[in-house]
Amino acid sequence: MIAEVIINRTAKKLNRTFDYNIPKDLEELIVVGSKVLVPFGKSEKLTQAFVVGLKEETTIIQNIKDIKSLEENLTNNQINLARWMAKRYFCSVSDCIKLMLTPGTNSKNNKVKDKTINTIVLKKDIEEIELDITTNKIKSPKQKKVINFVKNNEGATAQEIEMFTNCSRVIITTLIKNGYLRIVEKKIERDPLFTKDIEKIKKEESTKNLKLNEEQQIAYEKISKTIEQNKYKSFLLYGITGSRKNRNIFTINTKSN
């Protein structure tokens, strides 16, 4: 199978499709709307691309390159919408496709990355540590306090240990140096939508409880009538800056198409 892809770059000359071979192990996974990584040009780095078509053969004479990996899938409707937007608003298909992606993931080099933090855990068995405490190998009350906290809270950061035990970083460093504690890297998955109140956004976007004023009602009725008659007409909406005129026009045009 051959995939027609749009390269995720803004150059006008790249606003067209390129043919790539779909490897056997990806044939069941890649569909129209797939976000993939492909070799492109002379660069050794892989480039992000979007699959916008599938076919059984290509007209290109020279050997075509393979798709290297699959990253994400969009729906066929999203790809069709991106094509329509590109034609309607005179921009590249790639730019329109990127609007469909989850925030923070629309670039191979700028995707949301997992955060790594250093945590503190016991290095020796607790029985061995307690024996050293009993035999006074560990004499410092603060060291004992830190060990006891880590025993009950493995995976805490050094900052948390300092805060809850009221001990300095030197105590922690000494215990690490003496082989009682060790540092472990922990990966935290980051959600680009974590700070977004989705329900609040949905509520704000809902128009069910909104009442149109007289001028808005007149404009709405005129546009609705045209849509119902399946006619294509242009309307000029006048409004102050920030009144979301472009958004309203886009919504109307989407429904009419």
pLDDT band at 255 (very low <50, low <70, confident <90, very high): very low
pLDDT band at 170 (very low <50, low <70, confident <90, very high): very high
Phi, psi (5° rounding) for residue 79?
Answer: -65, -45
pLDDT for 250: 45
pLDDT tens-place string over residues 49-69: 989 888 988 888 778 889 998
204 and 235 both lie in a single domain: yes
Residue 244: helix, strand or coil by DSSP?
coil
DSSP 234: -
Give me the residues paired with residue 121 across strands.
182
Total domain count for the chain? 3
pLDDT tens-place string over residues 173-185: 999 999 999 999 8
What percentage of the chain's residues is helix, strand, coil (to nearest 5)? 40, 20, 40
Residue 136 lies in a domain: yes
Reading phi first (left if > 0) and then psi (alpha if -120 to 50, else beta), residue 240 is in beta
208 and 180 both lie in a single domain: no
Residues with Cβ within 8 Å of 99's Cβ and at least 6 positions away in sequence, in order, are: 82, 85
Give me the residues paired with residue 182 across strands.
121
Mean predicted confidence (pLDDT) in 34-53: 88
55 and 122 both lie in a single domain: no
Last residue within a domain, chosen from 66, 98, 130: 98
pLDDT tens-place string over residues 103-122: 655 545 445 556 788 899 99
Query: CA-CA distance, 67 to 20, in Å (whole number)?
Result: 6
pLDDT tens-place string over residues 123-150: 989 899 989 988 888 989 999 999 999 9
pLDDT band at 233 (very low <50, low <70, confident <90, very high): confident
Q: State yes or no: pLDDT of 201 exceeds 60.
A: no
Last residue within a domain, chosen from 188, 221, 243: 188
Domain extent, residue 240, equals 198-256
Query: CA-CA distance, 198 to 102, in Å (whole number)?
Result: 13
